Structure 1
């Protein structure tokens, strides 16, 4: 039946995306964000793998509890920090920040933007 594939689809479809702007490190790139914890870091097994020297192995995490709830951004004690740009705010390690749609984030020196995806209700 289509029932099981329907419920499965909800878990695999991204509920947001993280846009990495182009810069000295390379071209722009988009990463899908899924329900649960999305780890941002230098390691290849991170959800958002940013293989750059300024990025910590496990730099930050974006936790999405539900598609209609604001994602929670936390810095994981990274070396070069995580910041929100407007209004400027440096995140202390472990402190939760609720991401707004189109919010600009700096992971170390990497500029990113969070986008909410319109997910259709089941």
Structure 2
């Protein structure tokens, strides 16, 4: 199926829903300034790299909200934020509440920037989260979270922190979103 045929199939499902704001075809709430969904783009790139071609892009269902399709960015470098996919996954942060509830955000070796800016490694949508809110760094077998002078602070286990060493099952709060920090290496180290 050609790309234009896919676009023709998608167009009837695209609509503007003023109450929900901007939503991608898969239901992810997007910042008004984004042209593409950072969550869906990673999946599209994986499908294209795996030989699935353009026809592997999932079709939206009726009534799933607004979507914008930017043809130039479908094969681009960015995925879920701007994470370097060559870096090994070393941990996760699982959202416990809010619009990201149930989503897991992969942490990679080195520095991971969290915030609302499109160029963050992990892009979050919450009005109380700063553009560049915090970093989670994994080096030498240790995880550390650091606040980047955010407006509303970074909390670990209900304590406001500037820098804090993370351990498995810590509860991290950015804005109104709480995350459970998960790390297999630290669980294995304790056992």
Q: TM-score by structure 1 length?
A: 0.75
Name the CA distance, whole Å, in 2 between partners of 1:110 and 1:52.
8
Deviation at 1:102, TM superposition (A): 0.9
User: RMSD of the alignment, in Å?
Assistant: 2.0
Higher strand share: 1
Displaced runs of 4 or more, over 3 A: none
User: Relative contact order (C-alpha < 8 Å, sep 6+): which is higher?
Assistant: 1
Count of matched residue pairs: 102
SS at match of 1:15: strand
SS at match of 1:112: strand
1:37 aligns with 2:111: yes
Name the CA distance, whole Å, in 2 between partners of 1:103 and 1:79.
22
| Mapped contact 1:22–1:29 kept (Cα < 8 A) | no
SS at match of 2:89: coil
SS at match of 2:105: strand
- Tell me which of 177, 183, 191 is aligned to 1:110: 177
Q: Deviations over 1:3-56 (max 9, x none)?
A: xxxxxxxx5330001111232x34421111011110010012211110221110
1:77 aligns with 2:149: yes
Structure 1 residue runs of 5 or longer lacking an equivalent are 1-10
1:20 aligns with 2:76: no
Name the CA distance, whole Å, in 2 between partners of 1:42 and 1:108.
11
Structure 2 residue runs of 5 or longer lacking an equivalent are 1-85, 187-191
| Corresponding residue of 1:6 | none
Q: TM-score by structure 2 length?
A: 0.49
| Mapped contact 1:14–1:34 kept (Cα < 8 A) | yes
Whichever of the two has the greater Rg, that structure is: 2
1:62 aligns with 2:136: yes
| Corresponding residue of 1:5 | none
Higher helix share: 2
